[in-house]
Structure 1
Amino acid sequence: MELDPLLLSRIQFAFVVSFHAIFPVFTIGLAAYIAVLEGLLLKTGNPVWKQLSMFWTKVFAVVFALGVVSGLVMAFQFGTNWSNFSYATANFMGPVLSYEVVTAFFMEATFLGVLLFGRDKVPPAAHFFSAIMVSLGTFISSFWILSANSWMQTPGGFEMRDGIVHLTSWSEAIFNSSFPYRFAHMGLAAFLTGGFVVAGVSAWHLVRNHAVEANKRALSMSMWLLLIIAPLQLVVGDLHGLNTLEEQPVKVAAMEGNWERGSNVPLLLFALPDQEAETNHAAIGLPGMASFILKHDVNGIVPGITDVPKEERPPVALVFWSFRIMVGIGILMIVAAFAGLVLRMMGRLYDHRGFLQALRLMVPLPFIAVTAGWFTTELGRAPWLIYGVMTQAEGLTPSLTGGMALFSLIGFMLVYAVVFVVGIYYLTRLTAAGLTDIETPPEHPERQRPKRPLSAADTPFDGDDLDFRPLRG
């Protein structure tokens, strides 16, 4: 059997992206939470905030390291597997990806060092500032990465000359039509991920009756955040979907499992899409609801997958189900957020063991939702690498063979398996250990001296000249 280098390269990139994406989306939300904790510590001096900040900063450091290791590989793949794409888009992708390193990664790395090792070496305000800069760096990083990816989805501000991208407007290219929706959607996903992880870990320790005061505060903060962010994500997701309907109608058709263009299209809750037969099996749906959601009219016309030739259609079943996994988890998040509000009003938020255990079990769900969302976005664009401009086959490295692609794929899988297992094991041990008690050091310990009885010569006050003299001895 002949190995297909295009298929293997796509699998390899999907594997690397899926592994990498879960780490930045967590660090973005967690960095913002740590900055809030440091601000509260600076304002109040309450050691509980220090206790929480020290614990979650340790978690952040491990996740940040995993994200860096897994992310470095992605850049190399552009040259090894997708050299035609890299060459054609170098005028845009090269500067944008370098801006991410210069404006974000360097800042994150620098101030992370202060955040990790400077707590007792720099003034409290400087330590708080370092937390803010780390958080800001994560957002700047996501800005450039999502700009580059959104440009591949909805390219703008360029023209093709002899197969090479030449920019005609940097602002139109960076702030392309889908970027604002995708940046907002991903930012909220980051807060949801951080919020549910903090809530889940805090709930687990409350069940164990460990560091109760600190974990109560962490859980309370997380649940207030989720109560706002989870419903807001539904609204932003709808706006993102409407933008996708305008820019990439076939992707939306695959998400809805709608084969024929028409009106009164049902919202499918379950179906088994058959790409060869161009139909769905065992379909269960709500009549007219897809038209209503997408067009705000049950008689609205919804595009169909058959609007384009077969070679331009995405893998419908994968897009269909990855979209439903993402939306299903999102709805479950909203339910959990409102359940927390009800329990808070009943005075049971911190001692309802069933709810606390449910939050603990929900910790993996935001990561699954993020991965499913990326699958929906990237698979729904297929077979285009740059939508409507360059196909995946056209962007592939010409000299790449199936054997070479398989060898690198196996290598990545083995290395990433080791990194992932070790990283998750260490994170599990770290979160299981929980918060450590904070011992507040005495002020100015260098001024403390062994006590001994004072003699007359040691008296600091001289009544003749009303002067204060330094102590001797």
Structure 2
Amino acid sequence: MEFDTLLLSRLLTFLTLAFHIIFATIGVGLPIYICLTELIGIKRKDPHYNLLARRWARGYTILVAVGVVTGTIIGLQLSLLWPSFMQKAGHLIGLPLFLETFAFFFEAIFLGIYLYTWDRFSNPFFHWLLSIPVVIGSSASAFFISTVNAFMNTPRGFVIENGNFLNVQPLVAMFNPATPTKVAHVLTTAYLTTGFVLASVTAYFLLRGKSHVYYKKALHICMIGCLVFSFFTVLNGDFAGKFLAKYQPEKLAAAEWHFETETHAKLLLGGILDPDTLEVKYGIGIPAALSILAFNVPSAEVIGLNDFPRDLWPPLYIHYFFNIMIFTGMLLAAVSVIYFVCHYVKRLNQHHPWLLRFIFIGGPLAMLAIESGWIMTEVGRQPWILVGYMLTADGVTTAGEVFEMLILFLSLYLALAILVPVILVRLFSKKSAETELEKRGIIL
């Protein structure tokens, strides 16, 4: 049976990234919550916060282990599936790839020390200090790998001679025009998503009737993070829209089904596109909103897709993922605001079952937004693997065993998708928070 190598390679890369991004996102976001929670526990001499940090750190160790496996697979697949790309541009992205690996080792070393030195210091502040390198390492790892993706969207730092990338400037390649918005968005969404995942788990226990102060404190610290990072995520989303308008107008136009160049361009929400006539049905258009998003001016001209060759159009279905990302982000921000309105208005209850239900579904929705955002970003770059310089079809392998690789890695991901939740559930169900608090002589 004949298979399209390009399609299979893209599918395998998609599956790996989609699976890895779950663990990578939490791996970046969770250390900052562990760090802040332990600090609050030390400052307030509150054992509930100290236990929160301990329990989150245990789960984090398992997630990091799986993230390492899937991250290593991505590195291998870059060379195995996209050898022509690596041959041409490997020396341009080699520095951030090396630094990303270094950042991980830096994080792993201090994580091991952090985990095995609980209660080993007379002053707990010294133990907390060990969490700072873990936070730095995890966020630095995200920073460096994001610069690689940014480079693929706005390549810089080289000249082309006879089809070769010469006069390489690695730092220019790293700090390309896409880097600020890409890195900022990756970090803030990781912190936001992790906050909602943790809040979702806590809301589940509260809905089950576990109304102990431990769970209420856990929910509150998570929702503080959700509120803060939802604000920065919305702000970074605005910056990202302006970046696309300047450097990748075809991606913005495809995401908004904006075909004709015009002023006072409307922002399209929802809708169904007729692929033959390119007419949109059932969509909601907000007048001049796209012009404002792109240039902050209602009368600004926004370039339409018809100004680009049809064979270089990004897939138009990215509009749906763009909408999912936006709607979900706004919903999560609204839930965060409502929680704190209920917290500060005495007549309201921030632990109302309906609000807890929205917080509970906020975790899966935040992860859905992460997946949708990455699909919109990566698919929206097509048909380029390196925008303006190399088509995806020109970077793919010519080997014939991609289908076998797809089956092999799909089996691995399925096994991990089953094992990881089972391990986490068993880890925390065998030693519940109530049991640990009781052993420590702490009154709930």
TM-score (norm: length of structure 2): 0.92
Contact 1:91 1:166 (8 Å CA) reproduced: no
Q: Which residue of structure 1 lines up, in the alignment, with residue 111 of structure 2? A: 112
Q: Is 1:142 equivalent to 2:142 in the alignment?
A: yes
Q: Which residue of structure 2 lines up, in the alignment, with residue 325 of structure 1? A: 324
Q: Which residue of structure 2 lines up, in the alignment, with residue 417 of structure 1? A: 414
Shift of 1:24: 1.4
* Mapping for residues 450-461 of structure 1, pairs under 5 Å: none
* Mapping for residues 444-455 of structure 1, pairs under 5 Å: none
Q: Which residue of structure 1 lines up, in the alignment, with residue 35 of structure 2? A: 35
Shift of 1:209: 4.1
**CA–CA separation in structure 2 for the residues paired with 1:254 and 1:119:** 52
Deviations 1:140-175 (A, max 9, x none): 101110011101111112112333333543332111
* Mapping for residues 261-300 of structure 1, pairs under 5 Å: 261-300=261-300
Deviations 1:196-218 (A, max 9, x none): 12222222223334372222222
Shift of 1:440: 4.1
Q: Is 1:359 equivalent to 2:359 in the alignment?
A: yes
Q: Which residue of structure 2 lines up, in the alignment, with residue 72 of structure 1? A: 72
Q: Which residue of structure 2 lines up, in the alignment, with residue 158 of structure 1? A: 158
Shift of 1:91: 1.3
**CA–CA separation in structure 2 for the residues paired with 1:409 and 1:100:** 26
Say which is worse superposed, 280-289 or 432-441, in terms of deviation. 432-441
Instruction: Give 3-state SS (helix, strand or coil) of 2:273's partner.
Output: strand
**CA–CA separation in structure 1 for the residues paired with 2:261 and 2:427:** 52
Q: Which residue of structure 2 lines up, in the alignment, with residue 342 of structure 1? A: 341
**CA–CA separation in structure 2 for the residues paired with 1:149 and 1:342:** 38
Cα distance change on mapping 1:7 and 1:131 into 2, 3 Å:
same
Cα distance change on mapping 1:211 and 1:166 into 2, 3 Å:
farther
Shift of 1:293: 2.6
**CA–CA separation in structure 2 for the residues paired with 1:211 and 1:166:** 63
Shift of 1:112: 1.4
Q: Is 1:384 equivalent to 2:417 in the alignment?
A: no
Instruction: State the AA in 1 paired with 2:247.
Output: E
* Mapping for residues 19-98 of structure 1, pairs under 5 Å: 19-98=19-98
**CA–CA separation in structure 2 for the residues paired with 1:346 and 1:424:** 37
Cα distance change on mapping 1:430 and 1:301 into 2, 3 Å:
farther
Deviations 1:34-82 (A, max 9, x none): 1112223333432212211111111211211121111111111111110
Instruction: State the AA in 2 paired with 1:426.
Output: I
**CA–CA separation in structure 1 for the residues paired with 2:115 and 2:389:** 45
Contact 2:340 2:350 (8 Å CA) reproduced: no
Cα distance change on mapping 1:432 and 1:331 into 2, 3 Å:
farther
Say which is worse superposed, 406-415 or 222-231, in terms of deviation. 222-231
Contact 2:49 2:218 (8 Å CA) reproduced: no
**CA–CA separation in structure 1 for the residues paired with 2:139 and 2:358:** 30
Instruction: State the AA in 2 paired with 1:259.
Output: F
Q: Which residue of structure 1 lines up, in the alignment, with residue 6 of structure 2? A: 6
Taking only the aligned residue pairs, the percentage that are identical comes to 31
**CA–CA separation in structure 2 for the residues paired with 1:57 and 1:220:** 18
Q: Is 1:254 equivalent to 2:260 in the alignment?
A: no
Say which is worse superposed, 426-435 or 358-367, in terms of deviation. 426-435
Task: Give the aligned CA root-mean-square deviation in angstroms.
Answer: 2.0
Contact 1:114 1:127 (8 Å CA) reproduced: no
- Name segments (4+ residues, structure 1) moved above 6 Å: none
* Structure with greater Cα Rg: 1
**CA–CA separation in structure 2 for the residues paired with 1:142 and 1:420:** 22
Cα distance change on mapping 1:275 and 1:227 into 2, 3 Å:
same
Shift of 1:287: 3.1
Say which is worse superposed, 140-149 or 89-98, in terms of deviation. 89-98
**CA–CA separation in structure 2 for the residues paired with 1:305 and 1:440:** 64
Structure 2 portions without partners, runs of 5+:
none
Instruction: State the AA in 2 paired with 1:409.
Output: L
Structure 1 portions without partners, runs of 5+:
442-473
**CA–CA separation in structure 2 for the residues paired with 1:51 and 1:283:** 49
Cα distance change on mapping 1:431 and 1:185 into 2, 3 Å:
farther
Instruction: Give 3-state SS (helix, strand or coil) of 1:259's partner.
Output: coil
Say which is worse superposed, 374-383 or 126-135, in terms of deviation. 126-135
Q: Which residue of structure 2 lines up, in the alignment, with residue 221 of structure 1? A: 221
**CA–CA separation in structure 2 for the residues paired with 1:278 and 1:309:** 15
Shift of 1:275: 4.1
Contact 2:114 2:130 (8 Å CA) reproduced: yes
